[in-house]
């Protein structure tokens, strides 16, 4: 049994493969190759964040926020359930770094996550408002929907900035 | 994940043997006593990995486990930033702690990790009667959790629960703390359990 099915996480931090929606602060710490996929409803000042780990679900459905291709429709659906209209949603992407230059094989997962997410956003006609992706630094992200959708980023190299 | 308490105990014992050998090699390199915690073997959901690793900056030396069982998983030598500085300071006879980690630190930590993890895997492999070798090391100085995510993305495609072995090694003389973490692939875990089971069950 999958205990975390579609409930989303408790508390403010969104763990790997999990998601959260609402109007209070949502955060995701220590993003490496994972990507924080954020949706913000400009009209209702609500939002959602999914902590995406891999690009393709290949039919796996038990944890939609874990994979880019299932996270996008799932988070849109969750936002619509709480009253959002699709045309008021804008998307933001944070993360997708490449932590180990030497990793061999299929390994720029961070980059592949970002490509997959952008592709899905296009498919679902969601506008990508802004992004902070790639590089070699880990990132933590804080998202404040009720504060006009403010997004603060803290990077492993010590830099802090708003998206 | 289908794993019982007896199996977890066996895995802890295996981790104990590996970590003791790693601790001995660290002790020789630092010429100081190393205190080792009882190894933990924990089953954890991927969404709770932030209970194990934080966004604190650390040196992370990562090895893929190679050898007879493929793909076997990963093993990580994790040293928080200040401990990493103290670690190389101790080896190089320096005392300046108020600095950033440089290339010299990186090389030293990679080498220390390499030696320790080789000892860890040698001892584990000997116990199990299989060949287990570390890949060339990969290293990053980064948020520990962020670095671990990259490894997790290799292992946890099909699974949502992982098993982690974790042992902390401490040098009280030099105030250095570091951790060895092993993340076996699901198939490896089953193979390790089978081999361990053979060890404790006398053949008829």
Which residues of A are identified as catalytic?
Answer: 34
Given an 8 Å threshold on Cβ–Cβ distance, is B50 in contact with A137? Answer: no
CA of B171, closest CA in chain A: separation in Å?
Answer: 26
Give me the residue label for tokens 């891999």. A54
Instruction: Work out the pLDDT band at A9, boundaries 50, 70, 90.
Output: very low
pLDDT at B93: 85
The whole-number pLDDT of residue A103 equals: 64
Q: What is the DSSP string of B88-144?
A: HHHHHT----SS---HHHHHHHHHHHHHHHHHHHHHHHHHHTS-EEEPSPEEEEEEH
Residue B149: which of A34, A101, A103 has the nearest Cβ? Answer: A34
Q: What is the mean pLDDT of chain A?
A: 90
Q: What residues in A contact B55, CB-CB < 8 Å?
A: 29-30, 138, 140, 154, 156
Q: How confident is the model at residue A104 (pLDDT cuts 50, 70, 90)?
A: low
Whether A105 shows a pLDDT value over 70: the answer reads no
Per-residue confidence (pLDDT) for residue A7, from 0 to 100: 41
- Mean of the per-residue pLDDT values of chain B: 90
> Is pLDDT at A146 greater than 50 in this prediction?
yes
Find, among A50, A25, A24, A46, the residue nearest to A36 by Cα: A50
- The pLDDT of residue A3 is 41
Contacts of A62 in chain B (CB under 8 A): 160
Q: Output the DSSP codes for chain B.
A: ----HHHHHHHHHHHHHHHHHHHHHHHHHHTS--EEPPPEEEEEEGGGGGGT--SSEEEEEEEEEEESSSS-EEEEEEEEHHHHHHHHHHHHT----SS---HHHHHHHHHHHHHHHHHHHHHHHHHHTS-EEEPSPEEEEEEHHHHHHHHHHHH-SS-SEEEEEEEEEEETTTTEEEEEEEEE-HHHHHHHHHHHHHHHS---
Straight-line distance from the first to the last Cα atom of chain B, in angstroms, rounded to the nearest whole number: 30
pLDDT at position B68 is 82
Cβ-in-10-Å burial (0-12, 13-18, 19+) of B95 comes to exposed
CA gap A33, B66 in Å, rounded: 23
Cα gap B92→B174, rounded to integer Å: 13
Give CA–CA dist B63/B151, Å, rounded.
10
Single pTM value for the model: 0.90
What is the per-residue pLDDT for A5?
39
pLDDT surpassing 80 at residue A133 = yes
Cβ–Cβ under 8 Å, residues A151 and A94: yes
pLDDT at A6 over 60: no
Nearest to A140 among B55, B149, B150 (CB): B55
Query: Which residues on B lie below 8 Å from A99 (Cβ)?
Result: 140, 142, 146-147, 149-150
State whether A53 and B149 contact (CB < 8 Å). yes
Question: Which of A3, A4, A97 shows the shortest C-beta gap to B146?
Answer: A97
Instruction: Please answer whether residues A106 and A67 qualify as being in contact, where contact means their C-beta atoms are separated by less than 8 angstroms.
Output: no
Model pLDDT, residue A75: 97
Cβ distance A17 to B46 less than 8 Å, yes or no, reads yes
Q: What is the pLDDT of residues B48-91, one digit of tens each?
A: 999 899 999 999 999 999 988 778 899 999 999 999 999 999 98
Lowest mean pLDDT among A11-20, B4-13, B108-117: B4-13
């Amino acid at each position: 049994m999958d205990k975390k099915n579609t409930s989303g996480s408790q508390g403010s931090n969104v763990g790997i493969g999990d998601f959260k929606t609402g109007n209070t602060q949502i955060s995701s710490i220590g993003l490496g190759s994972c990507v924080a996929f954020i949706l913000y409803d400009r009209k209702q000042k609500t939002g959602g964040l999914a902590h995406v780990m891999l690009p393709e679900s290949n039919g796996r459905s038990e944890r939609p926020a874990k994979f880019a291709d299932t996270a996008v429709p799932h988070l849109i659906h969750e936002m619509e359930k709480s009253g959002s209209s699709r045309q008021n949603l804008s998307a933001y992407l944070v993360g997708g770094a490449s932590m180990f230059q030497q990793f061999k094989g299929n390994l720029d997962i961070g980059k592949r996550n970002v490509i997959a997410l952008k592709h899905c956003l296009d498919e679902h006609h969601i506008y990508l408002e802004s992004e902070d992706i790639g590089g070699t630094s880990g990132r933590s992200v804080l998202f404040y929907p009720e504060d006009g959708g403010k997004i603060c980023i803290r990077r492993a190299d010590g830099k802090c900035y708003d998206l | 994940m289908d794993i019982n308490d007896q199996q977890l105990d066996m895995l802890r014992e295996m981790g104990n043997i590996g970590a003791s050998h790693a601790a001995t090699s660290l002790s020789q390199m630092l010429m100081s006593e190393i205190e080792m915690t009882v190894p933990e073997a924990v089953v954890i959901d991927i969404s709770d990995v932030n209970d194990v690793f934080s966004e604190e900056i650390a040196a992370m030396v990562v090895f893929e486990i190679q050898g007879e069982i493929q793909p076997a998983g990963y093993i990580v030598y994790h040293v928080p930033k200040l401990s990493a500085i103290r670690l190389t300071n101790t080896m190089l006879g320096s005392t300046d702690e108020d600095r950033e980690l440089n290339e010299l630190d990186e090389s030293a930590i990679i080498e220390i990790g390499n030696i320790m993890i080789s000892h860890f895997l040698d001892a584990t492999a000997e116990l199990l009667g299989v060949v287990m070798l570390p890949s060339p090391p990969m290293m990053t100085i980064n948020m520990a959790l962020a670095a671990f995510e990259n490894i997790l993305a290799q292992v946890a495609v099909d699974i949502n629960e992982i098993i982690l072995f974790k042992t902390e090694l401490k040098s009280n003389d030099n105030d250095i703390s570091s951790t060895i973490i092993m993340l076996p692939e699901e198939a490896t875990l089953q193979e390790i359990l089978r081999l361990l089971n053979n060890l404790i069950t006398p053949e008829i």
